[in-house]
Structure 1
């Protein structure tokens, strides 16, 4: 069984339905705008890089349909882009991918629909292929940081199931594991939807990396016992000062890491840095349905529980040891070095 979150073959876009893992492995086809948006919103596909890839392919597929109906215009194309971009608010890779498709449209629309559709397809495929390369580079760049580490903690899922390649945080782990078979990973279950329990543990075992699942609130005891030597997580959006958003529950780990003087690494492609976000104040946080929490405990809606359920939290840059990217390691001072890395 091959773990490939996204497949695009013969003009057909397919994904692994991640809501069914690990009990069931099912491939579903995304052949319409509505299906793609539903898949993103319902987390059938998730992870910032993967969402960006799906966005690009969906825009191409819909543009092709519009062209076949002789209704592909600047307005109809923009409507598709807006719909895709509105599917989730926090992951900046989504908006980056949409912008790339918009740029391609503006550049090639004067050349006629045949050339335009061909170029949109090429751009979507390129985004997918380049993400795979970026994942490998992240692994290569980050693995020396944990080459002598035996126990690392990760949160949520930042691996093959979240990207177009080997992952971000997990790519570093996979690369390090190639030279250190003793590397062991503690996996937060990642409530309320269990991406760590359902996806990361499943993925690591599939790739023969030893791992142990723990409840999110058990992490502190492992730090106190000096069992954790490093923490590595992904990111959905990184501000220009190094503040970043990641799956809810990330920030407490950063606090623990700082308290116990443990390195806290963030792995992400350079496209996750948002040039329009100066700091945490500029990062929108998606709020999810209360049903995601209540259903876990079989609590009926009629009981009218008040529920706080953000999809992400913000970790300030002061807690971050370094950012591991596809173009290298970004160290402190982050405001200066992020700008240098982005060549601003």
Structure 2
């Protein structure tokens, strides 16, 4: 897919926005990679290392959605890299993080799981990590990562970790995924790796950009669903298409159109400056986009039947990738969190 095939560019930015030339150039480099983009891990990560983070949130989401429209796995590789760069930039601006070499490819490992724990210990002025961190996507292939670990007062703190340190061991699994099979998300074991603290305990979860990164993931979901909509449009335009084909297309189009409107408005608010309800706004936006993507996948399954899932490699891979990726939304649990916030008096529209 090229910009010429995608007349909606720009999706989230006002036409003529300063960042758009850079976004377009980055997408052009992705197109130049051809079939290797997303499927060839080494080639895609080399491209990720070359990407410069846009200055605005709208342009960042523009880039993420455009990449996901080309390949969902490539967007899954790029999104945490850009998020890490944004976190480091915000920490530096706030004076809570040292100036670091940000070259290479980055991940963000902040998940927790029962039975495993990563702890940070301080000896004088040196911090080291000890234990196991779950859900570390591409840890065996990335250069560095921002990692949360538990500190003495049983709070989590963020650290910059060199994944090439011999004290870091990346597991190869278990990872039996059919979607995002190229993006292995398995634990790492760490025993004494020296790390650099970023912010004080609790800073990572409370920093303003946390909400921005959360919706960046949703921009990837949205962009990944656009080619599925195009497949529905092509089917509905066929001479033998019936009214049901058009109903499915209409339902999907409306859902994605509404989700795009939410992303545009959310980017506008976030780019304008901090808001007391940014966390709630982020959860609302993610819920709207997740619902739209799930409606798209269901509509495609009903309208197109099994054929594209069995004979169209690109479509089948995209559907499988999206099914795994959108599960970063926690469904009813995230809705319950929104409801709790509203019940507590938060969140004026």
- Which structure's residues are more often helix, by fraction? 2
TM-score (norm 1): 0.26
